[in-house]
Structure 1
Amino acid sequence: MITIKSEREIDLMRESGAATSLVLDMIEREIKPGMTTLQLDTLAEAFIRDNGGVPSFLHYAPKGDPDVTPYPATLCVSINEEVVHGVPDAKRVIREGDIVSVDCGVYKGGYHGDSARTYLIGEVNPKVRKLVTVTRECLYLGIEQAVEGNRLHDISAAIERHARSFGYSVIENMVGHGIGSELHEEPPVPNYGRRKTGIRLREGMALAIEPMIAMGRSRNAVSRNGQWVAVTEDGKPSAHFEHTIIVRKEKAEIMTLSPSERK
């Protein structure tokens, strides 16, 4: 069931969204070659708890799927060909030239914020750097469509059209989602689709929009270890950006916008 958030609920989601953006700002300051992904995760958990939140992802497991091991970390840290759900590890070292997707959720005041950014580590191959830039553009083009009266797949089509115009692939089996008091709510938000299809958007819907775009021909992300981390089918790099937004009449409200972006 899709829920319409009240203005009181949206106020609370502003708090969780702001907390989430601050974590990713902190990661941007701290991430560097030589760090392990577990070091990033440790920093993030301490930061979230010090600021009155709880990590949304830690011990998360999809409802109705008892075979999935609960997620063991605060962040998803995915490097290069890893699309999503990279599990932090003391042996996984971040290196010069990597691109690193960090996905973070914060539960605060009874509601979740969910956001992701892909970071460039040192001197990155220009072609890969372009992928990251275009993926971020896809996110904001999708958000532009998240206004009352549009259809859900107007978001999807805007993302797909921009990505494919550069010859990139859209990961089709990983999607955005509704969000609120639960981390994952209805509806799923795919990153591909036809304009003017899907449910009609209403003011107060809360969505996590998250394009995952790859350089190669991958249409799906495939499991590497049978549980969490998912990689491109052909081993080519993938980038990922995400914001939690509220559908509005004129312009979507971004809950997880960094304070520096609000200026």
Structure 2
Amino acid sequence: MNLCRNDKCWCGSGIKYKNCHLNFDKKLKTLKNQGCIVPTRNLIKNKDQIEGIRKSAKINNGLLDLISENIKEGMTTEEINRLAHEYTIYHGGIPATLNYDGFPKSICTSINDEVCHGIPSEDIVLKNGDIINVDATTILNEYYSDASRMFMIGQVSDEARKIVETAKECLYKGIEAVKPWSFLGDIGAAVQEYAESNGYSVVRDFGGHGVGLDIHEEPFVFHFGTKGTDMILAPGMVFTIEPMINGGSHEIFIDEDNGWTAFTADGSLSAQWEHTILVTEDGMEIISK
């Protein structure tokens, strides 16, 4: 679409193109001519969309806060699921994972050697020493937000505590790499370097993703890779960073019975933290955490 300077901008802001994304497009064109991979227009959120994602994230953050206050030894993962579901519905949201591609619950609960997509159940009871990832995605007025947190139940081993803390540091190393007009590959490189320097591996089979107008959008966010590669990070992009860190090999397998839950192939512990990130004109903003 070729726009004149005084046409309304393609982003849907209602502002004249010259006052909105004209210079942005010029910069992307220059970068593309230099051989860089640049984001398409549909990956750039406008101010109204960003505000909608923020409002969704307020619910998503709130349900994870509620779980943080209540999670304990002896609790079933189904009880955690009910807390999240009821909180989300009460605040006007919709649990995005419920019935997504057949997933049966409103959150994911992944314990110890479960890497991701653990399914809540009345039969799974939290025990002293467990580590658990709770992953929540919320829809509010058709806007999506996504985040996950790790929880340590009772007295955990030094090994368990270290992987939980290191996984969180990996997340923040990735976030620190987010700068406008830098590269998506910078994120993966930062995560991988920190994880491997601490003796851990990074799961290859899953990664972060664009989010906001749908549960999974482009781009795919690798948590390993090479600095200065992959897509340009442009202001207005919204995506998750969610490194899954294993205590042993990065290899995983999917439970054949439920078709969802991923486990470490060698039985080692796994930990993950996830935030939703907005690239801004001068840095980044953590929207959901």
- The answer, yes or no, to whether TM exceeds 0.5 is yes
Which residue does the alignment assign to 1:163?
Answer: 195
Q: CA RMSD in A?
A: 1.0
Residues of 2 paired with 1:118 and 1:221: CA distance? 19
Q: What is the alpha-carbon distance in structure 1 between the residues aligned to residue 144 and residue 252 of structure 2? A: 25
String of CA shifts for 1:77-118, please: whole Å, max 9, x gaps. Answer: 000000000001110111000000000001012210100001
Partner of 2:176: 144
1:38 to 2:65 alignment: no
- Indicate if the aligned counterparts of 1:177 and 1:189 stay in contact, CA closer than 8 A: yes
Residue of structure 2 equivalent to 1:67? none
1:59 aligned partner: 99
Correspondence for 1:3: 43
> Among 197, 205, 220, which residue is 2:251 paired with?
220
Q: Structure 1: how far apart are the matches of 2:59 and 2:171?
A: 20
Is it true that 1:129 corresponds to 2:169 in the alignment?
Answer: no
Which ranges in structure 1 are unaligned for 5 or more consecutive residues?
62-69, 258-263
Q: Partners in 2 of 1:147 and 1:198 — Cα distance? A: 14
SS at match of 2:236: coil
- 1:237 & 1:223 partners in 2: Cα distance? 15
Note the alpha carbon deviations across 1:195-251, whole angstroms, 9 max, x for none.
00001110000001101001112x232102351000001010000100011011322
Q: Secondary structure at the match of 1:186?
A: strand
1:113-124 correspondence runs (5 A): 113-124=145-156
How big is the shift at 1:17? 1.2
Deviations 1:124-169 (A, max 9, x none): 1012101111110111111112221110010111111111110001
Partner AA of 1:238 in structure 2:
S
Tell me the equivalent position of 1:94: 126
Give the conservation status (yes or no) of the 8 Å contact 1:174–1:221: no
Structure 1 CA distance for aligned equivalents of residues 141 and 189 of structure 2? 33
In the aligned structure 1, how far is the partner of 2:97 from the partner of 2:91?
17
TM-score (norm 1): 0.92
How many Å separate the matches in 1 of 2:82 and 2:53? 24
Q: Does residue 62 of structure 2 align to residue 19 of structure 1? A: no
Structure possessing the higher radius of gyration over alpha carbons: 2
1:194 aligns with 2:226: yes
> Which has the higher relative contact order, 1 or 2, with Cα contacts under 8 A spaced 6 or more apart?
1
Equivalent residue number for residue 288 of structure 2:
256
SS at structure 2 position matched to 1:131: helix
The answer for the alignment partner of 1:181 in structure 2 is 213
Segment drifting more, 190-199 vs 136-145: 136-145
Distance 2:172 2:275 in 1: 9
**Alignment gaps of 5+ in structure 2:** 1-39
- Percent of residue pairs bearing the same amino acid type: 40
CA distance in 2, matches of 1:11, 1:145: 24
Mapping of residues 100-119 of structure 1, within 5 Å: 100-119=132-151
